[in-house]
Amino acid sequence: MKFARKRKEQVTVVEWPGGEVEMIDIRLPETEYAKLQKGGKSIPLTNAEPLAKYAGLPWGSVTRIHADSGKLEMGVGPAIYRKAGWYLPVMWWPIKNHVSERKMVEIANEFRHDFGFEPLVIQT
């Protein structure tokens, strides 16, 4: 900050991982899908091959959960590991009535703004 002030430059602070809201699709077995429908707080990554993608997922990104019995959309954070394996934490719960992709991104951006996940620009 001292260096930025000295040069009279603005500084942008971004919560890691930052970036624009992403939309991802995950297929789950019926048992895991049912847990989410009942208020589950995490999405297990049974196939974590693209782990770099999941670990770098910007906060509040939208995940479309697919199962044979239906589809849910919800906001998630980057992948986290625990004893049972990798999972995505649910940040905000399902979007009701399947809205457009544009509306999902709008909801995600509102969440990010309200909870401080948007970049913070500081004038020095």
Structure tokens at 12: 């942008």
pLDDT digits (tens, 9 = 90+) for 16-37: 667 888 899 999 999 999 999 8
Tally the domains of the chain.
1
pLDDT digits (tens, 9 = 90+) for 69-105: 988 888 999 999 989 889 999 987 766 666 788 888 8
Q: pTM of the full predicted structure?
A: 0.78
At 78, which CATH number? 2.30.130.30
What band does 49 get if pLDDT is binned at 50, 70 and 90?
Answer: low
Share of the chain above pLDDT 90, in %: 31
Residue 15 has pLDDT above 80, yes or no: no
Q: Yes or no: say if 54 and 15 are a contact pair by the CB < 8 Å rule.
A: no
Report the SS3 class of residue 101: helix
Task: Identify the domain containing residue 96 by its residue range.
Answer: 2-122
Residue 47 has pLDDT above 90, yes or no: no
Q: Yes or no: say if 66 and 28 are a contact pair by the CB < 8 Å rule.
A: yes
Distance, in Å, from the CA atom of 57 to the CA atom of 18, rounded to the nearest integer, reads 8
